Structure 1
Amino acid sequence: MENKEAQKLIDKILKNLDKTGINTEGLVENLKTLRGYALEAQIPLVVKVLRLTYEHIEANESFLIPILDDEPIEEDGDVVSGDNDPVESLKYLISLLKNLNNKGNIADLKEYRDLLNDF
């Protein structure tokens, strides 16, 4: 998102995740505020992903969607997910919002949207 206040809020969320992990109270409020910026900028994908994200966090007290893998690892014929750390996965999701001109970021946001919808 190009809004300077939104960029500052993204940075704040990422710093807070590093410091305190998934602290649901402040995090959910920040995600709702960030969603407001996405509404103003008329970015429907980001609006949807942020709503699904904070609803997921409220319901589960964590972020249970694993970080996206570029290439899944196979062990003995089974696909093994890489990093299941909720904080790292959420940090990756939030960092995707910093550059919405990147087609890879948009593709990953769509994948997160689908995973959150299916959860």
Structure 2
Amino acid sequence: MENKKANKLVDKIIEDLGKTGINSDTLIDDLKELRTYALEEQVPLVVKVLRYTYEHIEENDSFLIPIPDDEPIDEETTSSDNDTVKDPVESLKYLISLTKSLNNKMNISDLKDYRDALMAH
């Protein structure tokens, strides 16, 4: 995002995740605040992903969405291999970091993957 306050908040969220893990109370408030910056900048994909993210955390008290694969999914891979989240904190840190650089096409692609995974969950 372009807003410096939004980027500082992204850094704060990532730092907090590193220190305390998924602490629902402050994390959800921070995600809601970050979402207001995305609304101001009129970035509907980020607005939606952030809302789905904090709703998912409220519901599950964790982040159960894995980091999107760089490789196309191999037909022989079972869905249970892809559904396991090795590190919920790392996945959430990655998702939040994607919002900093929305000019990067890979970031947009990964945000869309997160959106779809959150909707399916």
Structure-1-length-normalised TM-score: 0.92
For 1:72 and 1:45, locate their aligned partners in 2 and report how far apart those are by CA, in whole Å. 22
Match of 1:99?
A: 101
How many residue pairs end up in the alignment? 117
| Mapped contact 1:65–1:116 kept (Cα < 8 A) | yes
Deviation of the 1:72 alpha carbon = 6.2
> 2:113 is matched with which residue: 101, 111, 114?
111
Partner secondary structure for residue 71 of structure 2: coil
Identical residues among aligned pairs (%): 67
Counterpart of 1:101 in structure 2: which amino acid? N
C-alpha RMSD of matched pairs (Å): 1.6
Structure 1: where are the runs of 5+ without partners? none
Answering whether residue 10 of structure 2 is matched by residue 19 of structure 1, we say no
Is 1:85 paired with 2:87? yes
More strand by share: 1
Q: Distance in 2 between matches of 1:95 and 1:48?
A: 16
Which residue number in structure 1 is paired with residue 2 of structure 2?
2
Note the 1:46-85 alignment, pairs <5 A: 46-71=46-71, 77-79=76-78, 80-81=81-82, 84-85=86-87
The whole-number CA distance in structure 2 between the counterparts of 1:92 and 1:69 is 12
Unaligned runs of 5+ in 2: none
Matches within 5 A, 1:20-35: 20-35=20-35
The aligned amino acid for 2:20 is T
Matched to 2:93, the amino acid is K
Q: What's the TM-score, normalizing by structure 2? A: 0.91
After the TM superposition, list the runs of 4 or more consecutive aligned residues in structure 1 that deviate by more than 6 angstroms: none
- 1:56 deviates by 0.2
Equivalent residue of 2:103, what SS?
coil
8 Å Cα contact 1:67/1:84 also seen in 2: no
- Indicate how the Cα distance of structure 1 residues 21 and 104 shifts in structure 2: closer, same or farther if over 3 A, else same: same
